[in-house]
Structure 1
Amino acid sequence: MAEPTAHTRPLTRSLDPLPGESLGGYLLRLSHRLRLSPIQLARRIGTAAPSATRLGRRLLLDLDVDGFARVTHLSSDEARSLTLVPWQHRYPPIARALRRPVSGSRDDWLFNDLPRYCPQCLASDGSPIQQDHGGSWRKFWHLPIAFVCPDHRVFLQHRCPQPHELTRAITDLITQTADTTLQPAQCRLPAVGQSRSQGRTVPSCGVRLDQLDQFEHGGGLRPDPPMLNTQLRILNHLGPGCPPGDAVSYFSDLRVLVALLCVSWPLGQELIPPGARDAVAAHIRVLGAGQRQAHDQPPRDPTATAGTLTAAASLREAPHLRGLLNQHTQAVRNGPPSRIPWTYVFERHSSNCSALVRQAAAPSVRSYRRTGPRGTRIPDRTGSYRPEHIPAFLEERWYQEHLAPLQIDAEAKSVRRLAAVLLVQQASGRARGDAADFLGINPAGGQFAATSTLLRWLRDGQDAFNAALHNLAEELDRGTNPTNYQLRREVLRDWSLPSETWNEIITRLPPAPGPVRPNLDDRVRQEASAFVWAYATCGEPLFAPRHIEADQPPDTRQTWRQRRANTWFQLSRPDALNHYAA
């Protein structure tokens, strides 16, 4: 792109931008006022190189704002407002395009394939300047999330009333840039029967796009209140009243949910307003005929855009979002979750999605964007409980309140281990084996994994298990002053009962009846140390540090291991014998 230089003289006459006007619309009106073609004006003000013959849409991102402002007698803020740059911290495709070189891959959600417009906005509002040069081509219309004019409550148009045969997207900011005869509201496509490939001298269509009697507004269809409300919410998220982070999450949520609705169609069609269902179905047929398996492509038709975005917004606000996402995912599942087309979209954009959607989607897809060499991924849950707040063996109360009602008591030990690992995984993004390592469970032995019996149960009960785990995670999110179990594990990593303390304890035991004296040697001291460790860390004695045992000869260690289970049974049984109870 050429840039205005200090030698580019300011124009003798200029124009003030209209509210919400785009750079392309401003150049059309200004060229009309100065009786220049758009490309002559662009060269004159340094927006295009002297040899340029076209104006690409990248000008909406790459405009030299200060130079343009100086030549056109605008303030820098006015010039910048003509571009998409003010929305870069709100609408993710704009931010990605600004980071990406001009030759970078195209984001389908950055620009519409065909220009959208409201005929009533293009018509004059009666003011002298608009009577002479027309109304505003708004920059919002460039985005695929624009489908309704909220001022006039009509669907945007995306075609000329004349039957042009368009086989590819229009990527120019202004077409037919050399034509000096056109008013800003006239169609700049080649005349019917002509082709753009024939060069710049092809006659333009010239049909006035601001004359309402040419349009039927989609066959008389007008946006219903949910569609209009969705468009207003979208505009609010682009405005200064919404925090940028919330806007990024909102638009990312809508994008991934639109993809899910398209992939799982016709499931969810009841969320589409009736007047838009045919247009949405036509859009999905086009997607199915192409190579875009991820279905991450917005509709060309504003009516279909209205239907998909309104449905996605409704789905996002649903009270049981997690169950609905699982239902849609199951409808198209024919292999591992990572092979479902929608998961490709979710994986690319999950880091920008809201915690609401990430947490709701995670049980269904179990797919996260990799961020590190060991497979660390974006966690499901951020800003809530942390991995260090999870014990290695799920607390008894947590288990009884959330998981025991699933009636899998025969697998209680396996369930409590697996639940702890999954909670850590959700909060940290670690792989499952790494989450087990964090908890001090040996992944090489597979102790954290579900048993074959539990796996068989999960084939039918996965949804109930996920729901129970989700409810437990929400309870932990609401908790205050949580216990730092990881700190306890670290403090007790090298600990065992000292001999002096052990002797003090056993001397206070009541005398055992009968002639046989109980064994209170170092083996029992080791098991008592493990008992204390498990109580303090909410873990299992199996994974307790065994420093006393480690100091013994190999044959002694083997003997101790063989007797370990019986000792622990005696220590943990609810009706413990008097000696073990003491």
Structure 2
Amino acid sequence: MSTRPLPRSLDPAPGELLPGFLLRLSHRLRIAPLHLAQHCGLHQPPASTFPTRHMLHLDPGKATVLARSLRLSPAEIHRLTLMHQAPEFPPLLEYLRSERSFETLVTEGWVFTRFSRYCPECLAEDRGAATSSWNGLWRLPMMVACLRHQRFLDWLCPDCGNPAFSTGIRETNRWRPASLVPAPLAVLHPAQCRSRVADGQRTPNAPYLYPLCGGRLDQRRPAIRPSAEIIELQEKLIRLATSPSSRPPVRSVNRPASASEHFNDLRAVTLLISGTWPAAAELFPRTPHLDTTAAHVEHRLVTLSTRKPGGNPHLIRALDRPPPDAATSAALLALASKFLTAECSSDYVSDLVARCDKKWPGRGKLLQMEPHCSAGFRFAAASRLDTLRPVGLGATLAVFPQAATHLGTLKAETVPQRLPDSWIETLTDLGREPDLYLRRDAAIRLVQMAKGGPRSEAGVYLGFDIPAVHAVSNALKNWQQTGDNARLYNQALARLADQIASSPDLIDYHRRRHHLNQWVIPEEDWNPIIDEVQRQQTPAGRQHTRWTHTRCLAASAIVWANITHGERLWAPTLRSIRDHPAPHPTTTSAATESRSIEGRGRRNSIHPLLATALKEYGSKLAALIDQGTAPAGTPTPHSPRPWAR
């Protein structure tokens, strides 16, 4: 592999991708694209193609080598990738941030890697590029119209009928192998069609070359003009895909959403439209070109219905794949967009999801996409989606929501382990008493709504252990599966989250839990508490009261529960009761003592006096913690202190 700079190069055209740049440079230097790529380090013999993934992203090392060879800067090389040109388009992020294969990205069709749409008039214009340049955004399925020339994009060669910028489709109606540049051994004008015209034929005296179409794609021909609504939608989608994530959010299903979430919503609704047709047409009967959308959806459904058992599983993914024809895709996207922007969009989305069942082929795909959708979409679909989730060993309907529906508004640190009674009032009309399990579940789910993540993570954040989280899920499963309980519960939690988020002077309970982790009342604080209780006791009471270390541990648990608004038995001093099958006897005794203090005990006992003193002490300590001036507590021991009286 040579990395010497080429004798001549080109300046990249605005919006150009690496494949188009290589075509222009190949035409200028009269070098086959494959040989050019080999010189630049993009290709290793003996392969006769090079991967299309290079148009999505280039690692820094390869970009540096390529920049040196092409006499460009690394920044200019990275600008030749879709990840730079459309940083907010989710399928590109999924490819880079997950273990999903590039082949999955190709199969699902939300990035056109096998071909490209194009505008003949743009290819015919020079615009300082010396010859025809291919716009990188034409590879995105939501690019349906050329705003410059006010026309739908084409996707087929008018001469051979094969998809543009592709090696073509076989006589068996299957794609030929894709390459970053089709027919990479041929030197052609960038606007010439590079598709093979027949199978099994080679050019005489050139065994590595096949007969190519060679037709010009830049010939001006009658255009189909999109409506003003499609042009407006196209402008919006381009702006969302290409703008940095710091831009103000859009609204999707009546709530703020990021650009990436909005695209995921659009994709999810597209899947729902295809899976529930003609429900969408019934909800929006006046949408233009419904017949075009109907023909596309029905073709997909027929293809799916004829799939043989055990056959190609990718056909299921194809249920939401955008059609390659720009006008058809525009009609489908316009219909899907109405579900996200209509005044009652939440009801419309809920209606579509309600029409799906567990036998629907797109169920798994929708459940996979849902956590990445906007808060508005998840809220609208949540109660209906719960009927689609798998139920079996380890599965329960109580796991929703997994993603943050109130990210940026509700703060997880303001959620205590034991919800205040004023908050619980929101959950009193659900037909179930707000018992221990419902209270715990509500707290766990509020944390999920604030910061996302699985239930186990949210439970541990609050101070529960994983078995306790599972016990809560199992206790509520049957109730949530009954009637409309799941939807009503979800709506009540959403109202509660909004109520908390709008409340002034919220407490950072997470800071308090963190400060009091493995904490016990220190001696210098415990002695004044004893003195205060003894001051109010009778002489006989003072004589018979023993201030043991066990009582100090119990008092510490009460203070912890008061300050953190947590459950007493989850206090650090009593945690071993939960964590170990045979907790230390001191801990067991402390738990019994703490129950007496919490219940205030008998009228003439010290428990009411001690509870009052601990409440006053806890209020002062909480203020110091909130101000960041509280000293660290003493580590929890199981042996008696020398200062115990």
User: By how many angstroms is 1:107 displaced?
Assistant: 1.2
Q: Which residue of 2 aligns with 1:208?
A: 216
Return the alpha-carbon distance in structure 2 between the equivalents of residues 280 and 117 of structure 1. Answer: 21
**CA deviation profile, 1:492-514 (whole Å, cap 9, x unmatched):** 9868997765565677xxxxxxx
Q: Which residue of 1 aligns with 2:185?
A: 178
Q: Structure 1: where are the runs of 5+ without partners?
A: 508-519, 569-582
Note if contact 1:54-1:177 (Cα within 8 Å) is conserved in structure 2. Answer: yes
Going from structure 1 to structure 2, the CA distance change for 1:479 and 1:65 (only over 3 Å counts) comes to same
Going from structure 1 to structure 2, the CA distance change for 1:338 and 1:319 (only over 3 Å counts) comes to farther
Q: Which residue of 1 aligns with 2:121?
A: 120
Note if contact 1:39-1:48 (Cα within 8 Å) is conserved in structure 2. Answer: yes
User: By how many angstroms is 1:156 displaced?
Assistant: 1.6
**CA deviation profile, 1:38-78 (whole Å, cap 9, x unmatched):** 44554566654576543442342449545545555555544
Return the alpha-carbon distance in structure 2 between the equivalents of residues 74 and 537 of structure 1. Answer: 59
Q: Which residue of 1 aligns with 2:271?
A: 259
The DSSP-based 3-state class of the residue aligned with 1:173 is coil
Q: Which residue of 2 aligns with 1:284?
A: 300
Deviates most, 480-489 or 158-167: 480-489
Q: Which residue of 2 aligns with 1:268?
A: 280
What pairs with 1:100-139 in structure 2 (closer than 5 Å)?
105-108=103-106, 109-124=110-125, 133=131, 135-139=132-136
Return the alpha-carbon distance in structure 1 between the equivalents of residues 192 and 572 of structure 2. Answer: 81
Counterpart of 2:193 (choices 187, 192, 201) is 187
User: By how many angstroms is 1:87 displaced?
Assistant: 3.8
User: By how many angstroms is 1:521 displaced?
Assistant: 13
Alignment partner of 1:225 is 2:228: yes
Return the alpha-carbon distance in structure 2 between the equivalents of residues 465 and 488 of structure 1. Answer: 29
The DSSP-based 3-state class of the residue aligned with 1:467 is helix
Q: Which residue of 2 aligns with 1:141?
A: 138
Deviates most, 315-324 or 137-146: 315-324
- Total equivalences in the alignment: 521
What pairs with 1:26-41 in structure 2 (closer than 5 Å)?
26-39=21-34, 41=36
User: By how many angstroms is 1:546 displaced?
Assistant: 11
User: By how many angstroms is 1:473 displaced?
Assistant: 0.7
- Read off the aligned partner of 1:262 and give its amino acid letter: S
Return the alpha-carbon distance in structure 2 between the equivalents of residues 462 and 329 of structure 1. Answer: 14
Going from structure 1 to structure 2, the CA distance change for 1:148 and 1:505 (only over 3 Å counts) comes to farther
Q: Which residue of 1 aligns with 2:13?
A: 18
- Read off the aligned partner of 1:190 and give its amino acid letter: R
Counterpart of 1:426 (choices 449, 460, 464) is 449
Alignment partner of 1:345 is 2:342: no
The DSSP-based 3-state class of the residue aligned with 2:104 is coil
Note if contact 2:145-2:153 (Cα within 8 Å) is conserved in structure 1. Answer: yes
Q: Which residue of 1 aligns with 2:357?
A: 333
User: By how many angstroms is 1:470 displaced?
Assistant: 0.4
Alignment partner of 1:243 is 2:246: yes
Note if contact 2:32-2:186 (Cα within 8 Å) is conserved in structure 1. Answer: yes
User: By how many angstroms is 1:440 displaced?
Assistant: 6.1
**CA deviation profile, 1:516-546 (whole Å, cap 9, x unmatched):** xxxx999xx99x9899987766567898999
Q: Which residue of 1 aligns with 2:152?
A: 155
User: By how many angstroms is 1:120 displaced?
Assistant: 1.5
Note if contact 1:421-1:439 (Cα within 8 Å) is conserved in structure 2. Answer: no
Going from structure 1 to structure 2, the CA distance change for 1:345 and 1:197 (only over 3 Å counts) comes to farther
Note if contact 2:382-2:490 (Cα within 8 Å) is conserved in structure 1. Answer: no
Counterpart of 1:399 (choices 417, 424, 427) is 424
The DSSP-based 3-state class of the residue aligned with 2:495 is helix
Going from structure 1 to structure 2, the CA distance change for 1:136 and 1:267 (only over 3 Å counts) comes to same
Return the alpha-carbon distance in structure 1 between the equivalents of residues 474 and 71 of structure 2. Answer: 70
The DSSP-based 3-state class of the residue aligned with 2:180 is strand
Return the alpha-carbon distance in structure 1 between the equivalents of residues 92 and 470 of structure 2. Answer: 46
Deviates most, 375-384 or 473-482: 375-384
Q: Which residue of 1 aligns with 2:166?
A: none
- Read off the aligned partner of 2:237 and give its amino acid letter: I
User: By how many angstroms is 1:471 displaced?
Assistant: 1.4
Q: Superposition RMSD on alpha carbons, in Å?
A: 5.2
Q: TM-score of the superposition, structure 1-length normalised? A: 0.69
User: By how many angstroms is 1:99 displaced?
Assistant: 6.9
Percent sequence identity over aligned pairs: 28
User: By how many angstroms is 1:491 displaced?
Assistant: 5.4
Going from structure 1 to structure 2, the CA distance change for 1:380 and 1:85 (only over 3 Å counts) comes to closer
**CA deviation profile, 1:191-229 (whole Å, cap 9, x unmatched):** 2xx12775743322233222233x664xxxx43334323
Return the alpha-carbon distance in structure 2 between the equivalents of residues 252 and 144 of structure 1. Answer: 13
User: By how many angstroms is 1:178 displaced?
Assistant: 3.3
Note if contact 1:414-1:450 (Cα within 8 Å) is conserved in structure 2. Answer: no
Return the alpha-carbon distance in structure 2 between the equivalents of residues 101 and 499 of structure 1. Answer: 60
**CA deviation profile, 1:433-473 (whole Å, cap 9, x unmatched):** 97399366996699857978992795223322211210111
**CA deviation profile, 1:279-329 (whole Å, cap 9, x unmatched):** 541463245645244546443333343344444444344566655444333
- Read off the aligned partner of 1:224 and give its amino acid letter: S
Note if contact 1:176-1:200 (Cα within 8 Å) is conserved in structure 2. Answer: no
Going from structure 1 to structure 2, the CA distance change for 1:51 and 1:393 (only over 3 Å counts) comes to closer
Return the alpha-carbon distance in structure 2 between the equivalents of residues 75 and 537 of structure 1. Answer: 55
- Read off the aligned partner of 2:138 and give its amino acid letter: W
Q: TM-score of the superposition, structure 2-length normalised? A: 0.63
Deviates most, 357-366 or 16-25: 357-366
Return the alpha-carbon distance in structure 2 between the equivalents of residues 287 and 537 of structure 1. Answer: 55
Going from structure 1 to structure 2, the CA distance change for 1:225 and 1:196 (only over 3 Å counts) comes to farther
Return the alpha-carbon distance in structure 2 between the equivalents of residues 542 and 393 of structure 1. Answer: 12
The DSSP-based 3-state class of the residue aligned with 2:142 is coil
Return the alpha-carbon distance in structure 1 between the equivalents of residues 356 and 443 of structure 2. Answer: 30
The DSSP-based 3-state class of the residue aligned with 1:479 is coil
Q: Structure 2: where are the runs of 5+ without partners?
A: 163-168, 250-257, 539-544, 575-584, 604-645
Going from structure 1 to structure 2, the CA distance change for 1:74 and 1:413 (only over 3 Å counts) comes to closer
Going from structure 1 to structure 2, the CA distance change for 1:460 and 1:41 (only over 3 Å counts) comes to closer
Deviates most, 530-539 or 81-90: 530-539
Going from structure 1 to structure 2, the CA distance change for 1:114 and 1:357 (only over 3 Å counts) comes to same
- Read off the aligned partner of 1:232 and give its amino acid letter: E
